[in-house]
Every structure is written in structure tokens, then in C-alpha cells.
Chains A and B, each alone.
Chain A
Amino acid sequence: MASTINASSTANGIVSTADASGILNIQSNGVNTNAQAWAQWSYASGSTCTVNRSYNVSSITVNGSTNDFTINFTNALPSQYYAIAGTGGQGSGNLNCLSVPAQQTAPSTTSLRVNIVYQNGNFAGSNTYNSVACFG
């Protein structure tokens, strides 16, 4: 990951910095406002997972055919109390949702375990447009 550090300060308190690892932090009064990590991936079936694009994500682990994924961060996040946003992909006639945490595994600074589930809570099947973004 690039380690270029650009810093600027404005009158409204917005500061753009990057730490030694190269993670860009756009801060407002000391609070990070941008995504610290994100990924978009597709899942066909079995173990077939394709990570299409990502930022600060070193790998995605498929833990089973129950749409159980671990997102591993390249550089640790500042805190385990980050906000998580995401999509559960495209199902066949079902509403798919991102569910956190998977397997009662609490989010950590180094990884995040998620499930993709149907609206009734059952595990979803193959889906194309899974994504997650972590803020904070």
C-alpha cells in the first residue's frame, strides 16, 4: 500500500492525513469520516469467491457454503467500534442482506466476519454484488 502522506487543514476542521501504513484518514475534529476499508466481491457457490475491488483488505476467506465470509484487513483499523455498511448481493427472487457478526465473532481491528442471508434469516445462495465498508 502507498505511504504518501498528504495533509491539509481547513477552517472547518477537516484534515486529510495518512498514517505510516498509508491509510488515508479524512478527519473532522479528530474523528475519521471516511471508509477505513472496503471490498466488493461475488460468490458463485462452494468456495468460488472473486474479490472484484477492495481497499485495505488483504483477503476474503470463505468459511463454508452458508455465505460465511471473513474480511481480513491489510492494516489494522483504529478501533473495533467501526460502523459497517454493505450489501448482500443479488439473489434469485430473494432479498439478500448483510448480517454482522457471523458465528458470534465480534468485529476486530484486523478482521470482520459477515454472513449474507435472506430476509428470513436463512443463508443465501450464490450472489454477485456483495460489499462491505467500514467507517470510523
Chain B
Amino acid sequence: MAKVIIYTNQNGGVSVCVPTGELPIETVLTKDCPPGAIIVDDSTLPQGDDALFFDAWKLDGTTVTVDFPTAQAHYLARYNAAAVAAGQTRQNNTYAGIENTTSDSDWQAKVAAGRAAIASATTTAGLAAIALPQSE
């Protein structure tokens, strides 16, 4: 496993500094990173579904965890953006005389159900399992 340097960034999230090997990692720590940055083995960073929510990582001491409410909020924002894009495609289809495969009411109900599932999710695996809206 490789050593990396982590620290809390200006957004409150975690930045991960990957040395190239030109300099010793201890030199990179002091030269490229702010005070408080620490060297860790990258295998200790969140893995699996937790790794998908990098922007919701939080550094507490020497441990990085996922702040679940933040992950939930980020995924909802991503979900809504996908819903808007898919909705625009559906609308374009309508204007172009191309029939959407799912009725507007069914599609809206499906999107609403996904949004409710995000609100009730309790794990990152649960969030990651909720598919983003697509034009149908």
C-alpha cells in the first residue's frame, strides 16, 4: 500500500496528496501541505461505497470517515441535477414528436420515489444503490 498525505481542506472536506517520489514524503508533507497534515497508508482511507463519497469525507484525528448527512445532501444534489437533465431530454423528445417510453406521471413518480429513498437511506451502500434518473 502507498503512503499519502491527508488534511482538512478549505471546504471542510479531505484533500489527499500523492507524492511522485521525487522528494521524500516527509519533505512533501512540509513543503506541499498545510500544518496539521498527516501521512497515512492509503489502505486506511474509506473503501468501497464509502470511497464514492469522497466529498463527504471528514478527518477526525487520524481517521477519515464519511459524514453521512453530507453524503446524503451531495447525492440528492447530484440526483436532482440528473433529474433536470433527463427531464429536459424528455421535453425535447415531446417537442420533436418522439414518444417517451414512460408517461410523465409515471416518470415523475419514479423520480420522487428515488428522492424519498435518498432521504430514508442510512448507509453509503444504500445511497449508491439508488439509480440516478434517466430519460425514459
Contact = CB atoms under 8 A, between A and B. Distances in A.
27 contacts: A1-B22, A39-B20, A46-B53, A46-B54, A47-B14, A47-B16, A47-B42, A48-B51, A51-B18, A57-B20, A58-B19, A58-B20, A58-B22, A59-B5, A59-B17, A59-B18, A59-B19, A60-B18, A62-B18, A63-B15, A64-B9, A64-B11, A64-B15, A64-B54, A64-B55, A66-B55, A74-B22
Contacts of B13: 63-64
Interface residues of A, number: 25
A70 B9 CA distance: 12
B52 A45 contact: yes
A47 B54 contact: yes
B32 interface: yes
B45 interface: yes
B35 to A, nearest CB: 15
Interface in A63-113: 63-66, 70, 72, 74, 111
A28 interface: no
A38 B57 CA distance: 29
B23 interface: yes
B116 to A, nearest CB: 25
Given A51-B18, A59-B18, A61-B17, A46 B51 contact: yes
A106 B119 CA distance: 39
Interface of A: 1, 39, 45-51, 54, 56-66, 70, 72, 74, 111
Contact of B52 (A46, A57, A60): A46
A47 B32 contact: no
B28 interface: yes
What is the predominant secondary structure among interface residues of chain B facing chain A? mixed
Interface in B37-62: 42, 45-46, 51-55, 57
Contacts of A56: 22
Given A1-B22, A45-B52, A46-B51, A58 B16 contact: no
Contacts of A57: 20, 22
A61 B15 contact: yes
A60 B32 CA distance: 9
Contacts of A58: 19-20, 22-23, 27-28, 31-32
B14 to A, nearest CB: 8
B44 to A, nearest CB: 12
